[in-house]
Amino acid sequence: MAVVRVTGRDGVERRLDATNGCALMEALRDANTGIDGTCGGMMSCGTCHVYVDADWLAKLPPKSEDEQMMLDAIGELVELEPGSRLSCQIQVSEALEGLSIRIAPPV
């Protein structure tokens, strides 16, 4: 398990226990954080968009071309930031202990 610091759309921070090996999107969705994950992790909806804290960006794998394309597509609807990621593409591991994210506005 990794404890992830999640700041909701209301500005309130909470700590979330996320199971190693699962997509961060699943943990966020199951904890009712406002993440829908409508497409189930197929990078076709953008409803799992989060902002990763700048201190963590270099610790995550780089965005795939498909992830970047989906972020570009939703960028017409919501503001993108340098830390914009699809949480379905972030695999939880012990290395992510303390990861800090903000839930992005809904798409």
pLDDT at 89: 98
DSSP code per residue over 48-74: TEEEE-GGGGGGSPPPPHHHHHHHHHH
Residues 47-85 pLDDT 10s: 999 999 999 999 999 999 999 999 999 999 999 999 999
Which segments within the chain are labelled E, that is strand? 2-7, 13-18, 49-52, 84-86, 100-103
- The number of residues making up the chain comes to 107
> Domains of the chain (ranges plus CATH)?
2-103 (3.10.20.30)
Q: Which strand (E) or helix (H) includes residue 26?
A: helix 24-30
Per the CB < 8 A criterion, the answer to whether 101 and 2 are in contact is no
Is-above-0.85 flag for pTM? yes
